[in-house]
């Protein structure tokens, strides 16, 4: 049920596209990388339901989502 949304997300969502391409670059088969994207979509949907909010391209600062952690500031040692 998440196959087509994951395929579209890989094409149009920069974060998920980066994740998919990183998995492929690390030697993962395309089906495994796509399954990881499907799982990320599921985790994201669950977080949105739990927080009772809708999806936005940039999450509000007061919310955190395990599917898309906030990037560290430039020069951070937590790379």
Asked if residue 61 belongs to a domain, the reply is no
Q: What is the pLDDT of residue 76?
A: 47
Range of the domain at 21: 3-50
Asked if residue 21 belongs to a domain, the reply is yes
Residue 79, pLDDT above cutoff 50: no
Asked if residue 79 belongs to a domain, the reply is no
How many folded domains does the chain comprise? 1
Asked if residue 41 belongs to a domain, the reply is yes
Half-sphere exposure of 25 (CA within 13 A, CB side): 6
Asked if residue 16 belongs to a domain, the reply is yes
Asked if residue 62 belongs to a domain, the reply is no
Asked if residue 55 belongs to a domain, the reply is no
pLDDT digits (tens, 9 = 90+) for 5-41: 999 999 999 999 999 999 999 999 999 999 999 999 9
33 Cβ contact partners less than 8 Å away, ≥ 6 residues apart: 20, 23, 24
């Amino acid at each position: 049920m998440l196959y087509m949304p994951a395929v579209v997300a890989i094409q149009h969502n920069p974060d998920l596209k980066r994740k998919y391409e990183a998995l492929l670059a690390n030697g993962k088969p395309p089906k495994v990388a796509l399954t990881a994207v499907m799982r990320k979509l599921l985790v994201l949907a669950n977080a949105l339901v739990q927080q009772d909010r809708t999806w936005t391209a940039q999450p509000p600062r007061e919310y955190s989502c395990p599917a898309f952690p906030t990037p560290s500031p430039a020069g951070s040692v937590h790379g």
